[in-house]
Amino acid sequence: MKDEIIIDNRISSALLAAYTGVFLIDLVQDCYIPAKRADKVFHLIKEIDSAKEAMETAMRKTVQPEYLEKMLAFTNLDTLSDRMQKEHCIDQEYKGIISGWVRGSFIEVERNSDGTVQKVLYTYRLIDENRRQEIEEQKNLELQNDIEAIRSRNKEPEPGLWSMK
């Protein structure tokens, strides 16, 4: 039993280390418990007891305007259980005001007997460097495709049956 507790603690510590912030959210009671918090974000919501209010406040104060509507829809706790009906985990990337690119995720913790999600973990982590590399790779690919398209348009036709001499 003691070994199992030690292993559980190691697993929990390893998982918490992978994220910038982790919050246990009770969808039924509309409350949350921070398991790991980024103080820059937590200080914005520490006085708010309602998980719904805290989530909306955090999004409005930390998400770039062009991603805000998408993130408010993603973090809407009223619709979360329906959206997770067949999923154990859902995530969304967005650009934050405080720290660049972020991936937010909801992870199922508990369902009731009819399969409705009751508790989730909301996790977020900074992915700025990964996202920057993806964007750079996408731009390079698009540039290569453009170059190939220009080359193929300017290419002399191959001599053959249809060429005129």
- Long-range contacts at 39-45 (CB < 8 A, ≥ 24 apart): 40/98, 40/99, 41/98
| pLDDT surpasses 90 at 119 | yes
- Which residues lie across from 104 on neighbouring strands? 92, 124
Instruction: Report d(CA 152, CA 116) in Å as an integer.
Output: 55
Domain 18-154 class, CATH top level: alpha beta
Write down the domain spans for the chain: 18-154
Closest of 36, 47, 11 to residue 125, by C-alpha: 36
Q: How many CB atoms lie within 10 A of CB 53?
A: 13
Distance CA 33, CA 121 (A): 10
* Average confidence (pLDDT) over 105-113: 96
The pLDDT tens digits for 120-161 are 999 999 887 666 666 666 777 777 776 776 777 776 555 655
Strands annotated E in 62-99: 89-96
At 104 the pLDDT is 96
Say what the pLDDT of residue 79 is. 97
pLDDT at 164 over 60: no
Contact yes or no for 119/109 (Cβ under 8 A) = yes
